[in-house]
Amino acid sequence: MGSLTFVGLGLQSENGMTLEGLDVARKAGGAFAEFYTNRMPGLNLEHLEMLIGKKVHLLDRTQLEEDGGRQLIAAAQKGSVVFFVPGDPMIATTHVSLRITLSKNGIESRIIHAASITSAICGATGLQSYKFGKTITIPQDEPLPQSVPDTISDNSKRGLHTLLLLDINASEANQMTIREAAARMTRARPSLQNALAVGAARIGAIDEKVKAAKMRDLPNTEFGNTPHSIVAIGKLHFMEAEALKVLCGAHDEDLRENS
Amino acid sequence: MGSLTFVGLGLQSENGMTLEGLDVARKAGGAFAEFYTNRMPGLNLEHLEMLIGKKVHLLDRTQLEEDGGRQLIAAAQKGSVVFFVPGDPMIATTHVSLRITLSKNGIESRIIHAASITSAICGATGLQSYKFGKTITIPQDEPLPQSVPDTISDNSKRGLHTLLLLDINASEANQMTIREAAARMTRARPSLQNALAVGAARIGAIDEKVKAAKMRDLPNTEFGNTPHSIVAIGKLHFMEAEALKVLCGAHDEDLRENS
């Protein structure tokens, strides 16, 4: 009987997998990967294949979603298979559905976890994990759904921060930028212009960039290449305020309303 | 000039560090670690030292908090130093404070992220990341602060799940169990007896265990060794309900009020 192990690749490249993930992938009979649920700009497929000593079969959205991952399930029925996924696996709904199908077919599955932006954002900014409310993704579609500014204000009323994930355009693997997202949000809800936010680019990479500023000023910062994300700030603990100044270049006057 | 790299160890053992973490630690001039902010039952210090080819100096809470990490900062002033931390670094406030001090002293710091229970819980249970509200830690002190049941009911009113982290007793490295935490919560707020919850033990390990049940029934499940955590469930998406049944052994009748 076969098995499938989801192996998280973390934030930037194949070097974000864990030692355990590497070990399991080396021993596996076959390897698959998808790279459409998150952007991994540093990923080098040839290096990944060299590390694990086997070919990696790429699966696209159609094969995994419309086709239900049939090829992957068939391989896992016959032998031990690893499936590489950006970030921490299972953040994407489609992989939960796959895991349920595997279980119903009596195929064992396991997850080897890796870093996710949902926790890495805390380290990168100095914001505290238990101060975050509900996370929301800003979709590419126009107009911006009211649920985006509503989630920010609902969290903010409770003093909580909001992690805003920026959607990727699956067909082109383009991700929305901080500039675009901030502009869309302030257009949809002008009161957000004055909201304190942190733009975060390429978290986990050597050249990661974070900058705290009022939402209207975020587009003035050059964040460089994606992946990008934004945190809308709630009420700041004094240590968080200090971190925003020291680690994220916030100006004192921008922090006043949130302290 | 020196530098300090925080290297996350992930959820279970030294094999939860990333390939990049290993590479940086091998090249570093010195290595430190703390193991008091989270329990890492599978950790083998000798194996870690063998992997990175150098001795790892352990730091305790007193050295890092009361003493402000003076020894670590002095080492980072002189050369390149890695500092191993359980989970994804910087979830603990004390490390944010350390990073601010480093920055004020002109010492470069960087984080190599790893898996955290805050995102791994999604994969382990099939619950969706964007359906979680504010996380809260259940402290060891009696009586249980009202903020614990209040956070659960505030999240639940908005349809959101609550991740409940169980405190560890730093002096003994004992962690509260699911049984103790569920009993304390239902005593403090009897209406929680009927709340749907998931108990999660040793997430990421080969023998991880998850079980969905009413809070009053959680103590009837044998979860085994810590680390333990609990999710109090809000409103379920149909895929989440399916995942709780298939992956977490939930009974249909227990899911009715949350679906």
Residues of B in contact with A243 (CB under 8 A): 96, 99-100
Average pLDDT, integer, range A165-183? 85
Average pLDDT, integer, range A126-148? 94
Q: Which of B248, B246, B206 is nearest to B230 (CA)?
A: B248
Residue A92 pLDDT more than 80? no
Farthest CA pair distance, chain B:
62
**Side-chain-facing half-sphere of A116: CA atoms under 13 Å:** 27
Higher pLDDT, B172 or B99: B99
Contacts of residue B150, Cβ cutoff 8 Å, sequence gap at least 6: none
B92/B85 Cα distance (integer angstroms): 10
In sequence order, what are the beta bridge partners of B82? B5, B31
Binary contact (A11, B154; C-beta < 8 A)? no
What pLDDT is attached to residue B171? 59
Binary contact (A110, B206; C-beta < 8 A)? yes
Binary contact (A246, B111; C-beta < 8 A)? no
Write down the ipTM of this complex: 0.95
Q: How far is B229 from chain A (nearest CA, A)?
A: 15
Answer yes or no: are the C-beta atoms of B25 and B6 closer than 8 Å.
Answer: no
What pLDDT is attached to residue A36? 87
What is the chain A residue with the closest CA to B156? A134
Binary contact (A100, B10; C-beta < 8 A)? no
Average pLDDT, integer, range B148-160? 97
Residues of A in contact with B11 (CB under 8 A): 113
Nearest CB among B115, B126, B158 relative to A115 is that of: B115
Token duo for residue B114: 């790893």
Residue by residue, what is the 3-state secondary structure of A106-167? CCEEEEECCCCHHHHHHHHHCCCHHHECCCEEECCCCCCCCHHHHHHHHHHHCCCEEEEEEC
A84/A213 Cα distance (integer angstroms): 36
What pLDDT is attached to residue A170? 60
pLDDT tier at B170, thresholds 50, 70, 90? low
What pLDDT is attached to residue B244? 98
Average pLDDT, integer, range A224-248? 96
What pLDDT is attached to residue A154? 97
Residues of B in contact with A229 (CB under 8 A): none
Residues of A in contact with B16 (CB under 8 A): 18-20, 113
Which of A150-154, A199-203, A215-219, B40-44 shows the lowest mean pLDDT across its residues? B40-44
Residues of B in contact with A20 (CB under 8 A): 13, 15-16
Binary contact (B126, A11; C-beta < 8 A)? no
* Percent of chain B clearing pLDDT 90 (strictly above): 87
What is the chain A residue with the closest CA to B124? A111
Q: How far is A196 from chain B (nearest CA, A)?
A: 19
What is the chain B residue with the closest CA to A22? B19
Token duo for residue B96: 């944010």
What pLDDT is attached to residue A171? 59
Q: How far is A134 from chain B (nearest CA, A)?
A: 5
The pLDDT tens digits of the residues spanning B171-212 come to: 556 789 999 999 999 999 999 999 999 999 999 999 999 999
Q: How far is B47 from chain A (nearest CA, A)?
A: 12
pLDDT tier at A37, thresholds 50, 70, 90? confident
Average pLDDT, integer, range B228-255? 97
Nearest CB among B11, B18, B93 relative to A15 is that of: B18
H/E run at residue B150: helix B147-157
What pLDDT is attached to residue A41? 83
What pLDDT is attached to residue B39? 79
Binary contact (A130, B126; C-beta < 8 A)? no
What pLDDT is attached to residue B172? 59
* Percent of chain A clearing pLDDT 70 (strictly above): 98
Residues of A in contact with B97 (CB under 8 A): 239
What pLDDT is attached to residue B196? 98
Burial annotation A174-204 (CB, 10 A radius, 16+ → b, else e): ebbbbbebbebbbeebeebeebbbbbbbbbb
The pLDDT tens digits of the residues spanning B9-57 come to: 999 999 999 999 999 999 999 999 999 888 788 999 999 999 999 999 9
Nearest CB among A22, A96, A240 relative to B126 is that of: A96
Q: How far is A217 from chain B (nearest CA, A)?
A: 24
Q: What rounded mean pLDDT belongs to chain B? A: 94
Residue A172 pLDDT more than 70? no
Residues of A in contact with B115 (CB under 8 A): 8, 18, 88, 113-116
Q: What rounded mean pLDDT belongs to chain A? A: 94
A190: three-class secondary structure by DSSP: helix
Residues of B in contact with A6 (CB under 8 A): 123
Average pLDDT, integer, range A184-197? 96
Q: Which residue has the tokens 């430190």?
A: B32
What pLDDT is attached to residue A72? 95
**Side-chain-facing half-sphere of A5: CA atoms under 13 Å:** 26
Nearest CB among A8, A116, A132 relative to B134 is that of: A132
Nearest CB among B13, B23, B122 relative to A90 is that of: B122
Residues of A in contact with B8 (CB under 8 A): 115
Residue A108 pLDDT more than 90? yes
B39: three-class secondary structure by DSSP: coil
What pLDDT is attached to residue B41? 83
In sequence order, what are the beta bridge partners of A196? A214
Nearest CB among A88, A93, A123 relative to B239 is that of: A93
Instruction: Let me know if A135 is exposed, middle or buried by CB neighbors in 10 A (0-12, 13-18, 19+).
Output: buried
Average pLDDT, integer, range B90-98? 85
B84/B31 Cα distance (integer angstroms): 8
